[in-house]
Amino acid sequence: MVWHSISGEQAARELKSDINSGLSEHEAGKRLASAGENKLKDKKKPSVIRQFIAQFSDFCVIILFIACIISFATGIIEGKGDFVEPIVILMIVILNAAIGVFQERRAERALEALKKMSAPTARVKRSGKIRRIPSSDIVPGDIILLESGDLVPADARLISANSLSVRESALTGESEPSGKNAQVILPDNCPPADRKNMVFSSTTVIGGNCIAVVTETGMNTHVGKIAHLLAAEKAPQTPLQQRLGKIGKALGIGAIIICAFVFILGVVKKSGILPSFMLSVSLAVAAIPEGLPAIVTIVLSMGVQRMAKSSAIIRHLPAVETLGAATVICSDKTGTLTQNKMSVTQIRNLFGELPHNSEEARKILLLGSLCSNSRAAGRGKTASFSGDPTEAAILAAAYERGEKVFSLDRDYPRLHETPFSSERKSMSTVNMFQQKPMLIVKGAPDVIIAKCKFAAVNGAPVIMSAHRKRLITEQNESMAHEALRVIAVAYRSSEGENDFAEKDLVFAGLIGMADPPRPEAAKAVMTCKRAGIIPVMITGDHISTACAVAEKLGILESGQTAMTGSELDALSDSQLAEKISDCRVFARVSPEHKVRIVKAFRARGEIVAMTGDGVNDAPALKAADIGCAMGKSGTEVAKSAADMILTDDNFATIVKAVEQGRGIYDNIKKAVHFLLGTNIGEILAVFAASLLGFSPPLIPIQLLWVNLITDSLPAMALGTEKTEKGIMSRRPVSPSKGFFSDGMWIDISLEGMIVGTLTILAYSIGCLMFGAQSSIILGRTMAFCTISFCEIAHAVNMRSSLPLFKAGIFSNRMMNIAVAVCSAAQAGVVLIPQLANVFGVTPLSPVQWLTVIALAAVPLVVGESGKTLCSIRRKY
């Protein structure tokens, strides 16, 4: 069917849909089952088997396989039949691969859950009711309702349109918005870019509103036929993962050099080529931190799941890293810093405040109610008002004063609407008023006053003189100084629905509304300042109103400035960058100004978080380091451009997200610190033993066991650590600051040396200090147990920069489980005879166990002593 060549009503009939009531839920369900979800096909995900096989593509694992093959071959050639060691190594490698698949699948599930939470939605008519449903559930024949800021969910034929303009650059490449007309019928061969009676999937409504019937969904849409949009987007590695990948490679090269040296030493000492080769290969695999990027992904995915429960949905993983470094948070005022519960508190004409129940006040409220899209429902105490908070407040005030707000559409039929836009800062409608068409305009006072030629005095229009204009301006400023949001209302007679030019208006009055600050906002602002973050308010309100609220919240203090959009326009980019450091309030700004504000802060080296909810906020959200879209009031366009969605539209949630972002970054550092420290300890233990002329203190199977058990589980448990107290008393982390700055490399090296030294010491004690019992096997057993328990103790030590008694000894449930499992597994290897034979260990006496425990406790004692001393020093 050529949909653009028939009328919208005919298209609905062809699709067996009802324009007034839409599809029934039953019919929609049937069509969804037959047509499929309204989605572009993703690239097919690899199967579990393919993912499992991919785990064996790692260079070190390939070397280990080669070693296994050589070991098997040697056993066959020598006729010994000793295949235990290569079999165990193979089993450990397979288990490691299984853990890798589990981690990847877990991360994928976490990210899929987040995608679903931030998936686009659309308004449809179903069974006569308007509902908001996931865009993926839309089917051909659905009646959809679109307005400014919506993403078009599917291809659709317009039924009615009101000043509709759509940005179709995603489809046509044209940057200019396309004006739409529901009434036109176009030729069959009309190209998509000229189909003014159609809207297409993935395009953006930037003005007006419409009702349309869905004609195509999913892969049948025009965008579904464009090949380059079909490829699934591959999530890029975060900057941190990239840095750690490079570090892992550098350490790997170093480890291979050391392993080559160990192999040569073994051959020179006539330890045997195969044992020396197996030892060096297993040491390489144990030492190279190939799991670092995977651990980072797991910690990030677990972190963003926790953040989602706190009303902050992270759409892109790198945003978590950036959150911890944020230095400026630019926030909208209404609904984010304030409660967005507007109520009318004052009504004024040019001479002053009007009694609330006066005839003039009631007329001003009635005009404001007619020029709005808010709706009333219920009666008496159950009366409720939905829609834009400002419009709902005006409608509620009219209802309270006896106006019949439930029958406005019938009593005062609307002939035309010019929707509100942030550029015009006004909205207008043409309504039948006392049997005559009347144009009603409401919006920002300065904008409306400039369009007025008359003013209403005692119910009659008089010429708007300079004196009267000054009186109105003074009333507006007086209300703004009281922190009221002020809306001006004007009107004029109209010739009909085609006479809607906003000129020669009659000024009716000013409506003042209060929107109190959120109770938690002031505390969040204080937290920001303590954390070294600059809170900035951005609003379209009058500068006096904005400053009054900013002072209440503590955003604007003495010595700091406020700036209007017009003042901002008068500055060049370089001048703005110079002046912006002291500016805490931006009033009367448009979405375009937000982009300049972001760039000016970034030019000063700041890391900027920016909030936004409108379609025109998308460029600013993309320009910011962290774009934060509003989940309740935000448009789908803003959400799709953002890095983070605030499901409660609350400023305090941004601050909490920054705190959690810092905590996640800290946990990643702890996990990386732990892994690198223990890996260095393993390398040094074997390397030092070779230099000292000792037999290897750890055999290949033991090294692989340590790498699998006492590295992976505690590292993942560190990723679940709670955010440390006082984390928001620290300055933001500078992006230019290295991951291993502040002496972290020194700490890692020293900790590695302690672990390595204690392992050699345990080996020496086992070989020399127990008389007749002494042997290399006993020494290896004690070294094996010591390094394993050392790493467990070191993981506990890495939990917090605070002493454990302050952080909470058992406060991390996952770490408790990891410690218990790793300790039990390690003890089982020694105590169970069958496992002891496989791992080349011997049972330990009570004294030997006490020796191992004493040595293994050294990292914990040293670490806790250092943290306690630092804690005492900070007090003084």
Summarised one tens digit per residue, pLDDT across range 598-629 is 999 999 989 999 988 766 677 888 889 898 98
Higher pLDDT pick, 146 / 278: 146
* Over residues 573-592, mean pLDDT: 90
CB 431 within 8 A of CB 415: yes
Is 33 buried (19+), middle (13-18) or exposed (0-12) by CB count in 10 A? exposed
Whether 159 shows a pLDDT value over 90: the answer reads yes
Among residues 485, 211, 196, which one has the least CA distance to residue 338?
485
Chain length of the chain? 876
* Tens digits of residue pLDDT in 412-431: 999 999 888 777 889 999 99
- Pure H helices in 616-743: 618-623, 636-641, 651-691, 700-705, 712-718
- Res. 377: pLDDT tops 70: yes
Query: pLDDT band at 172, cuts 50/70/90?
Result: low
Does residue 258 or residue 471 have the better pLDDT? Answer: 471
CA distances from residue 17 to 24, 121, 217, 825 in whole angstroms, order as listed: 9, 21, 15, 65
What's the rounded mean pLDDT across residues 192-219? 89
Residue 338: DSSP 8-state: B
Q: Which of 153, 172, 156, 124 has its CA nearest to residue 27?
A: 124
644 neighbors 317 (Cβ within 8 angstroms): no
Phi, psi angle pair for 109, to nearest 5°: -65, -40
CB 554, CB 577: distance < 8 Å? no
Which of 2-16, 284-298, 789-803 has the least mean pLDDT? Answer: 284-298
DSSP of 254-306, one letter per residue? Answer: HHHHHHHHHHHHHHHTTS-HHHHHHHHHHHHHHHS-TTHHHHHHHHHHHHHHH
DSSP-derived 3-state class of residue 772: helix
> Which of 171, 213, 489, 492 minimizes the C-alpha distance to 350?
489
Residue 735 has pLDDT above 70, yes or no: no
**Per-residue pLDDT tens for 88-119?**
667 767 776 776 677 667 656 655 665 565 56
User: What are 767-783's pLDDT values in tens digits?
Assistant: 988 877 778 999 999 99
CB–CB of 495/509 below 8 Å? no
566 to each of 540, 586, 588, how far by Cα in Å? 12, 10, 8
Task: Quote the tokens at residue 135.
Answer: 């865009």
For residue 415, the surrounding DSSP H or E stretch is strand 414-421
Q: Which H or E run includes 870? A: helix 858-875
Residue 870: the pLDDT is 78
pLDDT confidence of 229, banded at 50, 70, 90? Answer: very low
pLDDT tens-digit map of 120-157? 889 999 999 999 999 999 999 999 999 887 889 999 99
Q: Which backbone phi and psi does 342 adopt, to 5 degrees? A: -75, 140
pLDDT band at 233 (very low <50, low <70, confident <90, very high): very low
The answer to whether residues 296 and 691 touch, using CB atoms and an 8 Å cutoff, is: no
- The verdict on whether 332 is a catalytic residue reads yes
pLDDT band with cut points at 50, 70 and 90 for residue 514 = confident
Mean pLDDT estimate for the chain:
84
pLDDT confidence band for 815 (50 / 70 / 90): very high
Whole-angstrom distance, CA of residue 449 vs CA of residue 510: 10
The C-alpha atoms of residue 783 and residue 779 are separated, in whole angstroms, by 6
Distance CA 604, CA 626 (A): 16
Pairing of strands 505-514, 485-493: antiparallel
| From 150, 332, 515, 666, active-site residue | 332
Q: Are strands 505-514 and 312-314 parallel, antiparallel or unpaired?
A: unpaired
Per-residue pLDDT, 388? 79
Tell me what pLDDT residue 708 has.
73
Nearest to 278 by CA among 840, 843, 850: 840
Return the SS3 of 729. helix
266-292: average pLDDT: 68
User: Tokens in use for 211?
Assistant: 């009702």
Q: Which residues pair with 132 in a beta bridge?
A: 123
Count of Cβ atoms closer than 10 Å to residue 190 Cβ? 17
Least confident segment among 195-204, 308-317, 672-681: 308-317
Residue 426 dihedral angles phi and psi, to the nearest 5°: -155, 165
DSSP secondary structure code for residue 23 in this structure: B
Q: Are 282 and 288 in contact (CB under 8 A)?
A: no
Cα–Cα distances (Å) from 702 to 66, 88, 428, 595, 699, in that order, read: 19, 10, 78, 57, 5
Residues 65, 248 contacting (CB under 8 angstroms): no
Q: Which residue has the higher pLDDT, 473 or 175?
A: 473
Kindly report the backbone phi and psi dihedral angles of residue 419, in degrees, each rounded to the nearest multiple of 5, phi listed first. Answer: -65, 160
CA distances from 642 to 136, 327, 539, 622 (A): 20, 18, 19, 7
Q: What pLDDT was estimated at residue 725?
A: 82
| pLDDT at residue 195 is higher than 80 | yes
Alpha helices in 36-83 (DSSP H): 48-54, 59-78
Ranking 272-286, 343-357, 659-673, 740-754 by mean pLDDT, the lowest is: 272-286
pLDDT surpasses 50 at 299: yes
Percent of the chain with pLDDT over 90: 40
Tell me how far apart the alpha carbons of residues 571 and 564 are, in angstroms, rounded to a whole number.
11
Phi, psi for residue 431 in degrees, rounded to 5:
-125, 155
Q: Spell out a b/e string for 744-753, using b for 16 or more CB atoms within 10 Å of the CB, else e.
A: beebbeebbe
Sheet of 328-332, strand order: 312-314, 644-646, 626-630, 608-612, 328-332, 534-538, 583-587, 561-564
Do the beta carbons of residue 407 and residue 468 sit within 8 Å? no
Upper half-sphere CA count for residue 159 (Cβ side, 13 Å): 21
Query: Residues 844-864: pLDDT tens digits?
Result: 999 999 999 999 999 999 988
420 close to 162: Cβ distance less than 8 angstroms:
no
